[in-house]
Amino acid sequence: MSDYSIQEFIEQTKKQGTAKGGFDLETDRILEVSLEDKVWAKMGAMIAYNGDIKFEREGMMEHGVGRMFKKTFTSEGGELMKATGQGQLFLSDQGKKITILDLQKEKITVNGNDLLAFEPTVDWDIQMMRRVAGMMSGGLFNITLEGHGKIALTTYFEPLTLLVEPGRPVMTDPSATVAWSGTLEPEFRTDVNYRTFLGRGSGESIQMEFNGHGFVIVQPCFEGEMSSQ
Q: Determine the Cα angle at 68 with ends 89 and 154, to 5°.
A: 35
Q: What are phi and psi of 65, to 5 degrees?
A: -65, -40
3-state SS class at 140? coil
Q: Write out pLDDT tens, residues 152-163.
A: 999 999 999 999
The residue-averaged pLDDT of 13-36 equals 87
Q: Write out pLDDT tens, residues 57-93.
A: 865 445 554 454 444 433 444 578 999 999 999 999 9
Contact in structure between 83 and 53 (CB atoms under 8 Å): yes
Rg of the chain taking only CA atoms, in angstroms: 19
Q: How many Å from the N-terminal Cα to the C-terminal Cα in the chain?
A: 39
Domain boundaries, the chain: 19-227
Q: Between 68 and 213, where is the model more confident?
A: 213
Reported CATH class of domain 19-227: alpha beta
| Most confident among 134-138, 201-205, 221-225 (mean pLDDT) | 221-225
Q: What is the dihedral of CA 148, 149, 155, 158, to 10 degrees?
A: 90
pLDDT at 126: 82
Q: Between 192 and 18, where is the model more confident?
A: 18
Alpha-carbon dihedral sign for residues 32, 35, 39, 41: positive
Report DSSP state, residue 20: S
Distances (CA, A) of 133 to 37, 73, 78, 122, 217: 37, 12, 16, 27, 22
pTM of the model: 0.83
Tell me the residue type at 115. Answer: L
pLDDT at 36: 92
Phi-psi category of 132—alpha, beta or left, where left has phi over 0 and alpha has psi -120 to 50? alpha
How far out from the chain centre does Cα 208 lie? 18
Task: Please enumerate in sequence order all residues whose Cβ is within 8 A of that of 217, keeping only pairs 6 or more positions apart, or say none.
Answer: 153, 155, 159, 160, 161, 162, 177, 178, 179, 180
Q: Determine the Cα angle at 162 with ends 160 and 165, to 5°.
A: 175
